Amino acid sequence: MAEPAAPSARGGPLAGVRVVDITTIFMGPSATQMLGDLGADVIKVESPGGGDVVRGIGPQGDQRMGPLFLAMNRNKRSIGLDLKHPEGRAALLELARGADVLTYNVRPQAMARLGLDYETLAAINPRLIVVGMFGFSQRGRYAASAAF
């Protein structure tokens, strides 16, 4: 795993803060983009092969680097991890071990199925701030509905 840039290299009020970003589409990437703009070391985790579906949104040109993707993922590093496989999950847990914040916007049930629920993450890094972004809360009639 690559070491982050020294805090003095980027500057900003969040220099030295490491964020693991497991978000896609709009809500999560725009939030973590702001953290990166403020100097945080943001590591975007994408699935290998396809990555964030926003990569392909745009008028023409390279479908892997559309303008919307580039705008919302500036100031981020990225890594491809298959979280459904033990090696990918282990790599993510290692990233979480050294992070300050972990963000996700997949449904909480999916995080639990992947073995990435809050209890698991807190056990490996008690100081980790886990930020789940959902459209309809974790309880109630729409809790299982996706929102991005």
pLDDT digits (tens, 9 = 90+) for 49-65: 888 888 888 776 566 78
Is residue 139 predicted with pLDDT exceeding 90? no
Query: What band does 99 get if pLDDT is binned at 50, 70 and 90?
Result: very high
Query: What is the value of pTM for the model shown?
Result: 0.87
Nearest to 146 by CA among 28, 30, 35: 28
Per-residue pLDDT at 1: 44
Run of H or E residues at 101? strand 101-104
**Options 3.40.50.10540, 3.40.50.720, 3.40.640.10, 3.30.465.10; which CATH number does 13-132 get?**
3.40.50.10540
What is the C-alpha separation between 16 and 78, in angstroms, rounded? 17
